[in-house]
């Protein structure tokens, strides 16, 4: 790996976070919580000084035009690790234990939403920082880089797809920088719309802004433990709709906005599968709630649709505790944890498109058994899927299940509880955050396992597999 390139990107990342510290400081000043300024001031000083120290390493780098894809994977992984540490620093300076601060920071930037907080008696700046970290991580840190920095114009394409290595490499526009800018414009537009809608339904500005950032990022952090459950029915349906939007492919959203047409959605196999899975699981969960829990129709429909989309998109908001659902509904919700949202969205999980490709691949293999001489290709949206893409999907699925099983076993042994082990592992790996029990009471090793799972899940496994190869570290060019 070429460390000059890594230093060059980290320098830019540190400078960006130095500037971003201004936002929570402004929040502290507005609410006259002046002591809350110091954690962010100290963090800003650390990022600024560190940026100066490493700038000499990457001083010879003028651009990244000759960067290799394998180096991009290393840059992406290390950038996310550094970003996690930076996000955690204000929590450390606020008084959080180091592991708890790292857990909260990782949960924020990976948009997992699991929290170690047992109360929310913290400054507005800290609560804002939690939500803002999710908003940053929702669409990708390096996507923001590519959108605002011209130095990443050429290398941006490789880093763009290294940050979210999904089954396809589809651009919204001919230039990757324009693509990143388009994604952030959509993201920002949706943010403003949802803030205004939440204000209209009765939320104050601060709660509305923080809830909006968590919703569109498919994150799940809240400013207090009761804010979601105390929302009006209208507010909950609005949040449900925007969680669904947050889990929708941004390529489709872009085409819909620019062409003023919804045809792109109906012509896309992944979106139709995403919508059908959401509706089917929601109806089944509602049916279980109505017949086995004897809930009122209107309430169980809202609870079911809200909970299913919250889990599918990895948001993790909850208006009904997982333990309150009957066994049949819990099984369906557990299935939802494995479905995931759409590719190129803010949602996490395995992603619907991967399931589609796996099922189509299995279908073609079965067909070949009966027709061994037939030439059969796996297609997605009428386009042939390359064999290397199918290979990556199968590798991803194998390691996803392997990491889940390994993590679940370890956590089960540490916590002496199989339910906590299984649900915590899939929630961390899928960046869902719908974790049972009090995370603050978990064994420190359990928290470390969950931190690693959250990072691996957010970067979709492949980049981490790359950096563990010995030849990666010996690569110089």
pLDDT band for 167, please (50, 70, 90 cuts).
low
User: What's the pLDDT at 225?
Assistant: 80
**Listed range (234-243, 290-299, 425-434) with the worst mean pLDDT:** 290-299
Residue 380's H or E segment, with its range, is strand 379-380
Q: What token pair was written down for 295?
A: 């809930």
Q: Is the pLDDT of residue 230 over 80?
A: yes
User: What's the pLDDT at 67?
Assistant: 65
Sequence-distant contacts of 206-212: CB under 8 A, at least 24 apart: 206/124, 206/128, 209/128, 209/131, 210/127, 210/128, 210/130, 210/131, 211/131, 211/239, 212/242
Task: Look at phi and psi of residue 433 and say left if phi exceeds 0, alpha if psi is from -120 to 50, else beta.
Answer: left
Q: Is the pLDDT of residue 243 over 90?
A: yes
What is the separation of C-alpha 417 from the centre of its chain, rounded to a whole number of angstroms? 27
Q: Is the pLDDT of residue 157 over 60?
A: no
Task: Look at phi and psi of residue 101 and say left if phi exceeds 0, alpha if psi is from -120 to 50, else beta.
Answer: alpha
Considering only CA atoms, give the Rg of the chain. 22
Q: Identify which has the larger pLDDT, 213 or 119.
A: 213
User: What's the pLDDT at 141?
Assistant: 61
Calpha distance 206→202 (Å, rounded): 12
Q: What is the pTM of this model?
A: 0.88
| Mean pLDDT for all residues in the chain | 84
pLDDT band for 174, please (50, 70, 90 cuts).
very low
**Listed range (173-187, 244-258, 354-368, 384-398) with the worst mean pLDDT:** 173-187
């Amino acid at each position: 790996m070429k460390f000059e390139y890594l230093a060059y990107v980290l320098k830019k990342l540190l400078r960006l976070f130095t500037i971003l510290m201004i936002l929570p400081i402004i929040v502290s000043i507005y609410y006259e919580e002046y002591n809350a300024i110091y954690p962010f001031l100290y963090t800003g000083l650390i990022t600024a000084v560190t940026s100066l120290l490493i700038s000499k390493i990457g001083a010879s780098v003028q651009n990244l035009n000759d960067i290799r894809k394998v180096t991009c994977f290393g840059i992406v992984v290390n950038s996310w690790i550094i970003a996690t540490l930076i996000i955690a620093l204000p929590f450390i300076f606020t008084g959080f234990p180091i592991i708890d601060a790292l857990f909260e920071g990782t949960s924020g930037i990976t948009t997992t939403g699991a929290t170690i907080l047992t109360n929310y008696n913290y400054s507005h700046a800290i609560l804002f920082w939690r939500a803002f970290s999710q908003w940053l991580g929702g669409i990708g840190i390096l996507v923001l880089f590519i959108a605002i920095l011209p130095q990443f114009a050429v290398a941006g394409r490789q880093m763009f797809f290294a940050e979210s290595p999904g089954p396809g490499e589809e651009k919204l526009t001919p230039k990757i920088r324009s693509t990143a800018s388009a994604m952030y414009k959509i993201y920002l537009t949706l943010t403003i719309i949802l803030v205004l809608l939440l204000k209209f339904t009765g939320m104050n500005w601060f709660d509305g802004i923080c809830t909006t950032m968590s919703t569109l990022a498919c994150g799940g952090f809240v400013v207090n433990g009761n804010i979601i459950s105390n929302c009006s029915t209208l507010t909950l349906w609005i949040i449900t709709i925007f969680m669904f939007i947050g889990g929708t492919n941004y390529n489709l959203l872009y085409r819909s906005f620019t062409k003023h047409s919804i045809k792109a959605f109906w012509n896309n196999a992944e979106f139709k599968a995403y919508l059908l899975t959401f509706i089917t699981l929601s109806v089944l969960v509602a049916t279980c709630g109505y017949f086995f829990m004897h809930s009122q129709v209107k309430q169980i429909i809202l609870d079911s649709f809200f909970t299913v989309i919250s889990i599918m998109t990895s948001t993790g908001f909850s208006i009904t505790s997982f333990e309150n659902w009957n066994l049949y509904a819990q099984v369906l919700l557990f299935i939802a944890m494995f479905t995931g949202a759409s590719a190129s969205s803010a949602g996490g999980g395995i992603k619907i498109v991967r399931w589609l490709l796996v099922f189509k691949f299995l279908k073609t293999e079965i067909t070949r058994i009966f027709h061994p001489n037939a030439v059969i290709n796996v297609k997605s949206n009428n386009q042939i899927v390359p064999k290397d893409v199918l290979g990556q999907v199968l590798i991803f699925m194998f390691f996803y299940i392997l990491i889940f099983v390994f993590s679940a076993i370890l956590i089960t042994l540490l916590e002496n509880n199989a339910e906590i082990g299984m649900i915590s592992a899939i929630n961390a790996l899928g960046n869902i955050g719908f974790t049972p029990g009090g995370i603050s009471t978990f064994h420190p090793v359990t928290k470390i396992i969950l931190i690693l799972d959250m990072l691996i899940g957010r970067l979709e496994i492949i980049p981490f597999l790359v950096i563990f190869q010995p030849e990666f570290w010996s690569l110089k060019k």
